[in-house]
Structure 1
Amino acid sequence: MKRNSYLTVGLTVLTLVVIGVAVYFVFFNQDDLPVIQEPTPFTLTNALNEETYDSDNGKVKIVTFFYTNCPDICPLTLRDFMKLEKELKKENLYGSDVELVAITVDPEVDTVPVLKNYGEAFQAEPTGWKMLTGDQVDIDRITRQLQFYYSKANSGLVTHATTMYVIDRHHDVRAVAQMATAGDEPVDIESIMEDVKVLANEKE
């Protein structure tokens, strides 16, 4: 009986070890940045150079949505974009490997001249910062695919989500972040930069 007990205990320990190894590989050895969403590429107008912008360009992107009449969250977020621009330049990634992409959800108001002036107010350098507008139907398709909610009221104010997206070279969403908030909570630049550097180092 004692011999069988030892055998049972041994098998139990072995089973627990196997389960532990399996759990490790399933939960701790996964890709740190798995694919979250697979939006299709899009083309919009880049107001900073008045040219067509094609998102299927093999670059990593930090994507945010905004509108120029936003009283709080959007300008705070774009101020943090300015900080991201500086960090990306330090890493020699700005424009060459990584782009900052800001898409208006109010294209009726945010025409090319309006967006160009708005971008210049944030010192957006066109080599790596894209201020995009286009047809409402195209913008709606992008927001639907990214599950980004927004709704425009008769007053002109837009209620919108606060999600930002980190998109890899293959146009897959690999990470999300939160926009700045009126409560002085800035964009988590350090975390975004960590994700961006991982994706920039991936092969195309």
Structure 2
Amino acid sequence: MAFVRKHAFKIALFALCLAMAAYLLISNLKGEGEKLEVLQKAPDFELTSIDGEQVSLQNTNGKVRIVYFYFASCPDVCPPTTFMLSQVQDQLKEKNLFGEKALLISITFDPERDTPEAIRNFADKVHADYTSWKFLRGEEEPTIALAKEFGVGVFKDEKGQFSHFNVITLVDKEGQIRKWYNGNDENLTPEQIVKDMESLM
């Protein structure tokens, strides 16, 4: 019992990752063209953008959203996933949907290191358009808890380094989660994400 209590968070995180992995496997087996069912209600939040704007999930209702949890000093998965989201941004712009009907939201769970300046340096590398791609930050512990509510496991080790499940979440206009994407999936394309977003507009 002492072991379970000591490692309760790690055990819960492992269980969450197993459940998410199972979902993503089943989702990939379904193939394209499947109807996007409501998976769960997305948790609301109110966080601050790098421009000082207060942004909540509720006040962005009416638009289809992509929500992605990351940290700017991530050594591996976050930069390429953010680059792919920049391609989603560009395709939405080409279709005149970006801002009008679609929004991208990136949330850092490392606010201590991810200052507004650090986030801007990170986002500028992929030419993020801040008008409708919101880079948000808040307090660390509540943000990690929020990520978990979104189905994204985040763990911080004794050295202050993060590991996390690299998941992109699709949220519809009513604030309901319709799909989770495995950001590590080599077969995932921006075209697929844009197509799914369009189907919810």
Paired residue secondary structure (1:159): strand
Paired residue secondary structure (1:151): strand
Find the aligned partners of 2:187 and 2:176 in 1 and give their Cα distance.
Answer: 25
Structure 1 position 34 matched with structure 2 position 40: no
* Alpha carbons of structure 1 residues 157 and 187: separation in structure 2 relative to 1, 3 Å: farther
Assess if the C-alpha contact under 8 Å between 1:39 and 1:142 holds in 2: no
Which of 104, 107, 113 is residue 109 of structure 1 equivalent to? Answer: 113
**CA positional deviation for 1:157:** 2.7
Q: 1:74 — aligned with what?
A: 78
Assess if the C-alpha contact under 8 Å between 2:148 and 2:154 holds in 1: no
Q: TM-score of the superposition, structure 1-length normalised?
A: 0.75
Identity %, equivalent residues: 29
Assess if the C-alpha contact under 8 Å between 2:172 and 2:200 holds in 1: yes
Instruction: Report the AA paired with residue 35 of structure 2.
Output: D
Assess if the C-alpha contact under 8 Å between 2:98 and 2:132 holds in 1: yes
Structure 1 position 43 matched with structure 2 position 46: yes
Find the aligned partners of 1:123 and 1:190 in 2 and give their Cα distance.
Answer: 18
Instruction: Report the AA paired with residue 93 of structure 1.
Output: L
Cα RMSD (Å) of the superposition? 1.7
Structure with max Cα Rg: 1
Find the aligned partners of 2:181 and 2:146 in 1 and give their Cα distance.
Answer: 17
Deviations 1:133-168 (A, max 9, x none): 101233133212112101122334311102110001
Q: 1:178 — aligned with what?
A: 182
Find the aligned partners of 2:137 and 2:75 in 1 and give their Cα distance.
Answer: 19
Structure 1: runs of 5+ lacking an equivalent:
1-30
Paired residue secondary structure (2:200): helix
Structure 1 position 54 matched with structure 2 position 56: yes
Q: 1:5 — aligned with what?
A: none
**CA positional deviation for 1:46:** 0.8
Paired residue secondary structure (2:75): coil
Deviations 1:100-151 (A, max 9, x none): 1111121121122221222222211111111111012331332121121011
Assess if the C-alpha contact under 8 Å between 1:80 and 1:186 holds in 2: no
Structure 1 position 142 matched with structure 2 position 146: yes
Find the aligned partners of 1:55 and 1:155 in 2 and give their Cα distance.
Answer: 32
**CA positional deviation for 1:41:** 1.6
Structure 2: runs of 5+ lacking an equivalent:
1-33
Deviations 1:29-68 (A, max 9, x none): xx81111121232111111x22111221221111111111
* Alpha carbons of structure 1 residues 133 and 187: separation in structure 2 relative to 1, 3 Å: farther
Q: TM-score of the superposition, structure 2-length normalised?
A: 0.76
Query: Comparing 91-100 with 31-40, which one deviates more in the overlay?
Result: 31-40
